[in-house]
Amino acid sequence: MGWVRLAALCRNESGIGLIVALFLIVIVGLFGTLIARYAMIGATAAAEDYLWTQALYSAESAVQLRLLTHDGGNGPAFPLVIQGFGVPAPDPDSYSGRGIPATMRVRATRLNVRRTVEIKFVL
């Protein structure tokens, strides 16, 4: 008996369809906004991770090039640019000769991303 009465009540209300439609539109709109927001956050995080990785490899490349100068090769002149990252002259390293442990620190910078690589080496 209750279902019949509810159906009759809904039949007599002419604006209930509009209210339900508006409710559904608002809910679907909120879900769409949340999905777009999370997609944007994920894309931003992926781009930042990519830049951090590029900065790391650029700094490592600069370290390897700098080691060439100590190992008797012709290393590049600093500052230099690797993959769009500026690499200033490395901090003065502690290299004093073959067979003696030394430390070198190199930094790669691009926009607001900066990575510093420090190595300990023996030639």
**Range of 107's domain?**
15-121
Q: What is the pLDDT of residues 94-123, one digit of tens each?
A: 888 888 888 888 888 888 888 888 888 888
* pLDDT at site 26: 95
* pLDDT at site 23: 92
Within a domain: 65: yes
CB atoms under 10 Å from CB of 55, counted, come to 25
* pLDDT at site 3: 62
27 pLDDT exceeds 90?
Answer: yes
The answer to whether 83 touches 68, Cβ cutoff 8 Å, is no
Within a domain: 1: no
**Which of the two residues, 40 and 62, has the higher pLDDT score?**
40
Within a domain: 7: no
CB atoms under 10 Å from CB of 5, counted, come to 9
Within a domain: 44: yes
Within a domain: 10: no
Within a domain: 103: yes
Q: How many domains does the chain have?
A: 1
pTM for the whole structure: 0.64
36 pLDDT exceeds 70?
Answer: yes
Question: Judging by beta carbons within 10 Å of its beta carbon (0-12, 13-18, 19+), is residue 85 exposed, middle or buried?
Answer: buried
Q: What is the pLDDT of residues 49-100, one digit of tens each?
A: 888 888 888 888 888 888 888 777 777 778 888 878 888 887 788 888 888 8
Decide: helix, strand or coil at residue 111.
Answer: coil
